[in-house]
Amino acid sequence: MNSQTKLEKVLRQLQELEKLSNEIPLAAEDWLDEWQILIAIILSARTRDEITIPVAKELFKKYRYTEQLANAKISEVREIIRPVNFYKNKSRYIIKCAKQLIEKYSGNVPHDERSLLQLSGVGRKTMNVFLAEIGKNAIGVDTHVSYISQKLDWTKNSNPKKIEQDLKQLFPEKYWKQINSCLVRFGKTYTSRKQKNKILECIKKMK
């Protein structure tokens, strides 16, 4: 298969994934400020979006500004975010992250990779999901992206960073920012026990 044919195939597959996906709210979306987007993504790690979203709403209702979160009592933050996994660690992360934003960036979230990765609670996946959400060309690799990319033969790697590089080589840059949200929605659409084989059936038809 030549490069042009392969590109046409993966773009068709991406389009099919979008068509087969339900409009499911994701934790990174629909926040007013960039710091809220970032904090919501940190909270969403290893936690379902349907749990993260109401928790984040409650958190931002109490702490409306970065300064307020930076000065929050950790016990109060823990109580609010208790439903998310690893809430004790995440409480420390998000308070420290808010403090870093105030001290280093006047409350704004930096847009460069090096600065983002130095923020508390921010790893490569969180960084890329954030960048994609604000319109930058980036690919956040989580469990959905990893699993579906391997099943579609977009990558043979299991390491998230290597998967990210494979996808960047495979897709034109203008498509990068839609890959995570598309594959996550597809994966979440077919995660119930009743539909546990549906995702593989859909993927098999796309090959």
Element (H, E) at 55: helix 49-62
Choosing among 3.10.560.10, 1.10.10.10, 1.10.340.30, 3.40.50.1820, the CATH entry for 34-133 is 1.10.340.30
Catalytic center residues: 125
Instruction: Identify the band that residue 106 occupies on the pLDDT scale cut at 50, 70 and 90.
Output: very high
Residue 140 — pLDDT band, cuts 50, 70, 90?
very high
The percentage of the chain sitting over the pLDDT mark of 90, rounded to a whole number, equals 83
Q: State the average pLDDT over residues 201-207.
A: 69
Domain with CATH 1.10.1670 in the chain: 3-22+139-206
For the chain, give every residue range classified as CATH 1.10.340.30: 34-133
pLDDT band at 1 (very low <50, low <70, confident <90, very high): low
The per-residue pLDDT for 197 is 66
Q: Write out the two tokens for 54.
A: 């109401």
The reply to whether the predicted model has a pTM over 0.85 is yes
Long-range residue pairs from 4-12, CB within 8 A, at least 24 positions apart, any chain = 6/170, 7/170, 7/172, 10/152, 10/154, 10/170, 10/171, 11/171, 11/175, 12/206
CA nearest 118: which of 104, 138, 108, 134? Answer: 104
Tell me which residue of 31, 25, 45 sits closest to 93, measured CA to CA.
45
| CATH number for the domain whose boundaries are 3-22+139-206 | 1.10.1670
